Amino acid sequence: MLTIDLGGKRAFVAGVADDGGFGFAIAKALAEAGATVCVGTWPPAMGIFEKLLERGKMQQSMALADGSRLAFERIYPLDAAFDVIEDAPSEIRENKRYRERGDFSIRGLTDRFVADFGTPCLDVVVHSLANGPEVKLPLLDTSRRGYLDAISVSAYSNISLIRHLAPLMRPGGSFLSLTYMASERVIPGYGGGMSSAKAALESDTRTLAFEAGRRHGVRVNTISAGPWASRAATAIGLIGRMIDYTRKHSPLTRTFEATDVGAAAAFLASPLAAAITGTVLYVDNGYHAMGMGVEEPSPPTPTE
């Protein structure tokens, strides 16, 4: 019988600050498959996240199928907008929410892994990071700074994570990111350059699969997930409408769950997917396959 077995593997999921998003669902699925899991959290959200864990506010969501509970091996501070600490402006480095966390850059994260576990020490890396400061603005009204910030955090950070962490990967290592249908089709309201960032992320996935595959022997894939009402997605302002519309017009009308993405991520991280790289895997109840919306049946004509 085929099983997803990640026993003895160490995973790192970048972009976990609560139990409501895809990052947490993926972390939990990887743990269910036997991996130990480290996470990276944005420094301003890290204190709240740690308190939620310490006070048992996430007890129910941390429960695993075998009766045990998810326990993060490490929680690292990470602001993926910065490759090295010197890139961060002084007002950020001196902010108390950052200053107390030490080196929160991608290079700082890499150094912490080496210090804590030696090298090689990683098997799975998940990029669950996205931020568009002007996401509520139409692309036509997005500023240059807003556009570049969206690209930086949502797409370029994946390049940087792979560049820094691939040398720490053990044989068979897997990198995974999360994308969205707005990369290839118009989603009104998903603005601020985020659609461009997702398109870049998917294009980079193919190129990085080749380059990192040849240089480090790792795989690079991305999951195009259906809309989900995470705390971050709620900031877009129309997430409820996106969810309702997608469910109405998808081949499968079942409720889409974050656990669907977690299960797909665990598969892609496992030896079962050893020959899969450079791929966009759609996990969206088949919505991506539709070329036209489903028409509502006409109401019956009242009889006299």
Three-state SS across the chain? CCCCCCCCCEEEEECCCCCCCHHHHHHHHHHHCCCEEEEEECHHHHHHHHHHHHCCCCCCCCECCCCCECCCCEEEECCCCCCCHHHCCHHHHCCHHHHCCCCCCHHHHHHHHHHHHCCCCEEEEEECCCCCCCCCCCHHHCCHHHHHHHHHHHHHHHHHHHHHHHHHEEEEEEEEEEECHHHCCCCCCCCCCHHHHHHHHHHHHHHHHHHHHHHHCCEEEEEEECCCCCHHHHCCCCHHHHHHHHHHHCCCCCCCCHHHHHHHHHHHHCHHHCCCCCCEEEECCCHHHCCCCCCCCCCCCCCC
Q: Among candidates 109, 124, 111, 107, which has minimal Cα distance to 30?
A: 124
Q: What angle do CA 19, 25, 26 make, to 5 degrees?
A: 135
Q: Which residue in the list 76, 147, 180, 287 is annotated as catalytic? A: 180
Whether a cis peptide bond, with omega within 30° of 0, leads into 271 is no
Q: Among candidates 228, 291, 280, 288, which has minimal Cα distance to 256?
A: 228
Contact 10, 124 (CB under 8 A): yes
Q: Which residue in the list 147, 156, 190, 287 is annotated as catalytic? A: 190
Tell me whether residue 180 is one of the annotated catalytic residues.
yes
Cite the active site residues. 180, 190
